[in-house]
Structure 1
Amino acid sequence: MPRRLRVENCGYHHVYNRGVAKNSIFLDEYDKVKFIEILSSVCKEYKFDIHSFCLMDNHYHLLVENRRENLSAGMRQLNSGYASYFNKRHQRVGHLWQDRYKSWYVLDETYLFTLFRYIESNPLKAKMCKKIGEYKYCATYCIKRDAVPPFLQNSFVLRDYHTGELFDMLDIPLNPNELENIGKFHQQRYKLEEGQIVHVKQKSLEQYFLHVKDKTQRDEAIKSAHEDGYKKSEIGRALGLSGAGIAKILKKFRV
């Protein structure tokens, strides 16, 4: 499998980093406040917009939008700046982070809101709160209390959703299909093709339909091929069906 391309292109990125040996990177609330302070400075300097964030005890998640091809420079400043502060304050030496940050480029914005929900539900999953929006070091906490920091003010959820509507939707847990899609998103690989970022498909289109025996298996294969990045028109041509026919088949899988 090809190595994941570290994408600098403008757009949305899910960024994640955790402490070396899974050790805590935030020992108290002051550490988390300091991280947000450094994040705010980095966002101002590098023109980043944050659409979601979550600070857990030994890792963090960010949904970052960069308007210049400078993601690595900004993340390097964030991680090194916080590590310097942390080591000095807690009188320690050595690496704070397990590795360079991980990032996933959001090539298909269809799953953007699902990714937002996934990040914001981390404290709920860890049983640190009972509802999304209660944990202090998440974007939803700021939104719920109308105390949105500058780096979060351009978040698409503020643009596209009223607060009440947003939290009604967030009260609905991620369903198995959405969790599966998030898992697939984090497994995606990309490559540069004629200067464009394209998804590296896991299988050829022919392989998806190689052992199909009936319509049920065919429809499942259509779903899998489409999730792997094949267009409806491509699948339709391979099967002798129209794009509208493929769309109709895919529609029945939506939850």
Structure 2
Amino acid sequence: MTGLTPREKSVNLGSMPYRKTVFANNEVYHIVNRGVADSPIFVSPKEYQRFLNLIDFYHFADLTTNFSHYMTLELKTRELFRQKMKNPLVEILAYCLMPNHFHLLLKQIKDNGISKMLANLQNGYVRYFNLRHNRHGPLFQSMFKAVRIETDEQLLHVSRYIHLNPTTSYLVKSENLLSYPWSSLAEYLHKRKPIFTNPSLVLALAGGKKSYKNFVYDQIEYQRELNKIKHLTLENS
């Protein structure tokens, strides 16, 4: 992951955002978006779970049904349907959902895969959230932020940053970090079976599950003090 272009930049043409840099296939990106004015985007467990279901559905290409119909299927039928979806737009390496923002670590597989997935994901969730809360208008900031991961070391550090978000923000205590249900950390440490996440690349770089756990937990207090590792992340860019 060397010789990559600088941080993703975007310009706003009136009401329609336009991203100058095209996402490259087989490259990894840290994706972040926040609620408008940092407003909450998840206010109940049902909403967190809905967002995860949307991630799972929309990271595939060539879908033969819509999400609403997919969710009406019985669980066994839904699982059989999902097993037939073998043409992903992106590979999902890690995620963390927070009350007012989300993080995704994505490797693009298909041309425009990240843009297509994020458009469907965010549009689908906004429709659901607005209907549920009897509201109108945008929920997310106009354009998600993205930074290309340039080195293996950066990939490790960004994955840790993502997984430490719940305790860095004091949403959960450090001893309860592994129990946070809206992060892929438990999937990395084999405490929960992954549905759509592939932890293998990051775990291989870390030297395995035990080494990765130490790598994450040894940094909790330091990351709390810094609150943000600005040279690796992009939330305040």
Q: TM-score, normalised by structure 1?
A: 0.65
The residue number in structure 1 matching 2:180 is 135
The residue number in structure 1 matching 2:31 is 15
Contact 1:128 1:135 in 2 (8 A): no
The residue number in structure 1 matching 2:211 is 165
The residue number in structure 2 matching 1:106 is 149
Contact 1:20 1:96 in 2 (8 A): yes
Counting only pairs closer than 5 Å after superposition, residues 33-112 of structure 1 correspond to structure 2 as 33-45=49-61, 46-70=88-112, 71-112=114-155
Counting only pairs closer than 5 Å after superposition, residues 103-252 of structure 1 correspond to structure 2 as 103-131=146-174, 132-153=177-198, 155-160=200-205, 161-173=207-219, 182-186=229-233
Amino acid at match of 2:169: A
Contact 2:41 2:101 in 1 (8 A): yes
CA distance, structure 1, for counterparts of residue 179 and residue 119 of structure 2 = 30
Which SS does the other structure have where 1:50 is aligned? Answer: strand
Change (3 A) 1:126 1:58: same
CA RMSD of aligned residues (A): 2.6
Which SS does the other structure have where 2:231 is aligned? Answer: helix
Contact 1:14 1:61 in 2 (8 A): yes
Kindly indicate whether structure 1 or structure 2 has the higher relative contact order, using CA contacts under 8 Å at least 6 residues apart: 2
More helix by share: 1
CA distance, structure 1, for counterparts of residue 200 and residue 146 of structure 2 = 19
Residues 158-181 of structure 1 show CA distances to partners (whole Å, capped at 9, x for unaligned) of: 4444323321221111658xx699
CA distance, structure 1, for counterparts of residue 232 and residue 44 of structure 2 = 32
Identity %: 27
CA distance, structure 2, for counterparts of residue 57 and residue 181 of structure 1 = 17
Question: Paired residue for 1:6, among 21, 26, 50?
Answer: 21
Contact 2:8 2:146 in 1 (8 A): no
Which SS does the other structure have where 1:24 is aligned? Answer: coil
Structure 2: tracts of 5 or more residues without a match: 1-6, 10-19, 62-87
Which one has the largest radius of gyration? 1
User: Comparing 114-123 with 140-149, which one deviates more in the overlay?
Assistant: 140-149
Contact 1:48 1:151 in 2 (8 A): no
User: Comparing 61-70 with 167-176, which one deviates more in the overlay?
Assistant: 167-176
Change (3 A) 1:53 1:129: same
CA distance, structure 2, for counterparts of residue 25 and residue 3 of structure 1 = 24
Equivalent residues, number:
185
CA distance, structure 2, for counterparts of residue 171 and residue 154 of structure 1 = 17
Change (3 A) 1:171 1:106: same
Amino acid at match of 2:101: H
Per-residue deviation, 1:47:
2.9
Which SS does the other structure have where 1:52 is aligned? Answer: strand
Contact 1:18 1:58 in 2 (8 A): yes
Which SS does the other structure have where 2:214 is aligned? Answer: helix
CA distance, structure 2, for counterparts of residue 165 and residue 159 of structure 1 = 10
CA distance, structure 2, for counterparts of residue 181 and residue 129 of structure 1 = 17
CA distance, structure 2, for counterparts of residue 109 and residue 167 of structure 1 = 17
CA distance, structure 1, for counterparts of residue 183 and residue 118 of structure 2 = 18
